[in-house]
Amino acid sequence: MSKVVITTTGETLDAPMDPRFGRAARFLVYDLDSKSFEVIDNSESLGAAHGAGISAAQSVAKTGAKVLISGNVGPKAAEVLAAGGIEMYSFNGATVAEALEAYRQGKLTKIK
């Protein structure tokens, strides 16, 4: 299974992307094989005083996804994601669907 996680403010493919990672409202987990998705609430990390990025990275790792698309990922969160074998891409588009399409077309910038 190939899963892609995209930071979002909503619960559909047409929802706006959330440019933040650690404090993103939600994560949309899209399965490229079945073309289905689920939405994970990130309110626990959103309200955290410290460590929001690390907590969010652990949540993403639990999904089994190997790709994350977000506007920005902090260095500590990036370490956790990289350790989990998750590739990170930056995208500042309007919607989750646009981010998925850009990923499919190989037009995203890889976060190193």
CA distance 95 to 45: 22
Total number of domains constituting the chain: 1
DSSP 57-82: HHHHHHTT-SEEEES---HHHHHHHH
pLDDT at 37: 97
Residue 111: is its pLDDT beyond 70? yes
Q: What is the CATH number of the domain that holds 12?
A: 3.30.420.130
Report CA 36 to chain centroid distance, whole Å: 16
Q: Which token pair is 12?
A: 């559909």
Distance CA 43, CA 25 (A): 6
pLDDT band at 53 (very low <50, low <70, confident <90, very high): confident
- Is the model's pTM score more than 0.85? yes
- Residue 96 domain boundaries: 3-111
What's the gap between Cα 89 and its chain centre?
Answer: 9
- 84 Cβ contact partners less than 8 Å away, ≥ 6 residues apart: 57, 60, 61
